[in-house]
Structure 1
Amino acid sequence: MAIEKKEIIIREIQQWKQSRLLPGEYCDFLLALYSQGEGIDEHIKPSLNLKLVFLLFSNILLLPLTYLVINFTEFPDRLQMFLAFIFLLLSIACYRVFSKIKAVKIPVAKLVILGILLIITMDMVEMLTKTPWITAIAILLQLAGWSIAGYKQKDKYLFGAGMIGTIMVIYYVII
């Protein structure tokens, strides 16, 4: 095969790998096949840059910020819920950004979203019922849902968070 044709094919395979049209292993195999095992000089960019680190840190800070706004401010209840939902939307936006990037393997954004949802659920149930048992049941149901979703999706972080939270709520209710 002519050298020019091989170079064109190799560039196409690299574009497939970059745009994820084929799994990385297949592209690596095809690159090794067409380069005859010589390897390809790929310009590897650092996948976790300063903007992503800042975005990840900001996303993690949304969870305690939500807790602080709901529990330690004198804002009216509607304003607290509005701010909590704004934080939830920001966290969902961060999750969408992180889901497109392979550099962030740990599902931090997903756990932050679920944590904010748990805080919102706790506050809304407390506002509506003012009964600690109903609040505990709502929390327990949500954490059990995390465990079930983590088990079905084979997400060990979500499953572990759900199990640990469920055990803690049961311990809190018993004692």
Structure 2
Amino acid sequence: MDDKRKKIILKEITFWKQNKMLPEHYCNYLIALYTEGEEQLQEKMIKRKKHLNMEIFFSFLFLSMIGISIVITYITDVSFGMQTLFLSFFFFLLIISFFIFRKNKKNLLLIFITGAFLFLLYSVQINDTYFSSNKKSLYILILVNCVTWLLGGLWRRQLFFIIAGTIAVGTLIIFMFIW
């Protein structure tokens, strides 16, 4: 059968499938029959490419949020209120991303890692502003942050946070007693 006739038949079968004129499994069988199995491979490749593009976009977005937060917090001379505004905006973006990822059943680990890093930056920023860079208060705030990582990792069963929280708490306790 020539390609022009196959395309017309496939277009009709796709129309039947979309409008539920035939059961879906019949349409899938006919599509596989006329395309000789190649149609499903192309659909999977297109879906995989869209998924990869979305993952790259969100990875870049979250990494840029971390980079911008570091620049705003430590490199530029921005007031505490403005820094808090930026970090709050980034947390708002993370919350929106969380709901989008959960709705699409995507992996939420990247959102949690970005949120934990922003929370760490915010803890250090609070120490610098309210406690005049006191070492003991910084240790306590970071310890609370690391314990939050550990508890969050246990609660969500995220091995990354369990390991990072455990190592960070152990290291922090050692530094607290040495210095």
**Smaller-chain TM-score bracket:** 0.5 to 0.7
- Alignment check: 8 A CA contact 1:146 1:158 kept: yes
- Alignment check: 8 A CA contact 2:102 2:108 kept: no
The one-letter code sitting in structure 2 at the alignment partner of 1:117 is: F
Find the aligned partners of 1:9 and 1:118 in 2 and give their Cα distance: 50
- Distance change (3 Å), C-alpha of 1:171 and 1:95: farther
| Structure whose alpha-carbon radius of gyration is higher | 2
**1:96 equivalenced with 2:99 (yes/no):** yes
The one-letter code sitting in structure 2 at the alignment partner of 1:68 is: V
Written as runs of structure 1 = structure 2, the 5 A alignment for 1:2-151 is 8=23, 10=25, 43-44=43-44, 45-46=47-48, 48-102=51-105, 104-105=106-107, 107-130=109-132, 131-151=134-154
1:164 Cα deviation after fit = 2.6
More RCO (CA 8 Å, sep 6+): 1
1:166 Cα deviation after fit = 1.8
The one-letter code sitting in structure 2 at the alignment partner of 1:132 is: K
Find the aligned partners of 1:9 and 1:51 in 2 and give their Cα distance: 28
1:9 Cα deviation after fit = 7.0
- Alignment check: 8 A CA contact 1:63 1:116 kept: yes
Q: What secondary structure does 1:48 align onto?
A: helix
The CA deviation string for residues 50-84 of structure 1, in whole angstroms up to 9 with x for no partner, is 24311221112212321221111111221111112
- Distance change (3 Å), C-alpha of 1:101 and 1:87: same
Greater Cα offset, 154-163 or 135-144: 154-163
More helix by share: 2
Find the aligned partners of 2:175 and 2:93 in 1 and give their Cα distance: 31
1:145 Cα deviation after fit = 2.0
Q: Percent identity?
A: 16
Instruction: Give the alignment's TM-score, normalised by structure 1.
Output: 0.68
- Write out the 4+ residue segments of structure 1 that deviate beyond 4 Å after TM superposition: none
Instruction: Give the alignment's TM-score, normalised by structure 2.
Output: 0.66
**1:166 equivalenced with 2:169 (yes/no):** yes
- Distance change (3 Å), C-alpha of 1:144 and 1:61: same
Query: What is the aligned length?
Result: 146
